[in-house]
Amino acid sequence: MQSNDAASSLIQVEQRMRSLVTHDVGVAGEAAVLHLSAGGSRIRARLALHACSALRVPHDQAVAVAAACELLHNASLVHDDLQDRDTQRRGLDTVWRRHGDAAAICVGDLLLSAAYGALAPTGAAAGQLITRMHQRVGTVIRGQCDDLALQGAKLNSLYTYERVAQGKSAPLLILPLELALALAGRIDAISAAVEAGSLFAVGYQAADDLDDVERDALNEEINIVAVLAARGERQPREAARALAIERFQQCLAAAARLPQDSGQLMATQARRHVAMLTQTRVPA
C-alpha cells in the first residue's frame, strides 16, 4: 500500500470509528470520542488495512475491518484501565478517572458494541467475521481474568507468563490479519496469523516489561525479569531481552508464511523491535 493511500485510509477508519459512537449516545459518546482523539499507534487498524490491501480485499471492507479491530482494542483499554485503576493513558486522564467508574463501563460497552457495528458493511461475510471476532474477544477476556487472578502472585513459570501475555494481547493482533484472510477466502493461512500474532504478543510484552521492571515490582505486577529471576536466572534482564528477540524472530518466520506479503507490516514491526532490543544496552 502506498503511504499516502495508507494515510487516507486511516483517516477513513478514524471517521468510521467516530460515526459509530456518536449516534444519539450522549455523554458516553462524547467520552468515547475524547478517548479516541488521544490517538495511539493504530497498529491494529494499520495491520488490517495493510493485509487487506495485499490480499486485494475491497477498500470499504478493509476500512470496516480496520475500524472494528481498533474499536475493540480501545474498548479493552477503557475497561482494563478501570480494572487496573490506571490513571493516565496517552497523556490524558483515563476515562474512569475523568468521568467516573459507571461512565467508564458505559464507554467501554459502547466501543465494544461499535466494533461489531463496524462489521456491518462486510455484507455476506459478516456472519463469519462476527463469529471469529467473538471467539477472539472470549480469549481476551480469559486473558484479562487470568491476569487479574495472578496480580500480586510471585510467578516463576515461563509457560504461565507466555500464556497470560498471549491471552491479553495476541487475539487483537491476530484479528486484523485473520479477518483480512477470511475476507480473501484464505482461511488456510489463519494458523500462520495465529502463530505470528501470538509470538509478537509475547515479544512485545517482554520488551515492554524491560522498560518497567522497577514500576512493576512496586505495583506487584507480573514482569518477565522478575519471573526469570524467580527461576534462578543469573542475568534476568539479559535473558528477558534474548527471549523477546527470539519471539520476534520466530514471529518474522511465521509472518513470512502469510500469502501475498500480507504479513509484511507485522514483520516490519517485529524487525523494528529486534533492532531496538539489539541496540539498547541492558544493565546486567
Residue 226 grid coordinates = 522478575
Contacts of 77 (CB under 8 A, 6+ apart): 35, 89
Min separation Cβ 236 and its own copies, Å: 29
Min separation Cβ 162 and its own copies, Å: 16
Min separation Cβ 79 and its own copies, Å: 5
Q: How far apart are CA 35 and CA 74, in angstroms?
A: 8
Q: Single out the residue of 15, 41, 87, 135 in contact with its own copies (rule: CB under 8 A).
A: 135
Number of residues lying near its own copies (CB under 8 A)? 50
| Pattern 56-75, its own copies, x by CB under 8 A | -------------------x
Contact 90, 40 (CB under 8 A): yes
Min separation Cβ 274 and its own copies, Å: 31
CB nearer its own copies, residue 91 or residue 152: 152
How many Cβ atoms from other residues are within 10 Å of residue 136's Cβ? 21
Contact 206, 186 (CB under 8 A): no
Q: Single out the residue of 15, 19, 58, 138 in contact with its own copies (rule: CB under 8 A).
A: 138
Residues of 50-73 as b/e, b for ≥16 C-beta within 10 angstroms?
bbbbbbebeeebbbbbbbbbbbbb
**25 residue type, one letter:** V
Min separation Cβ 24 and its own copies, Å: 6
- Tallying the residues shown for the chain, one arrives at 284
Instruction: Report the interface residues with its own copies, using CB under 8 A.
Output: 20-21, 23-29, 75, 79, 82-83, 101-103, 105-106, 108-110, 112-114, 116-117, 119-124, 126-128, 130-131, 133-135, 137-139, 141-142, 144-146, 148-149
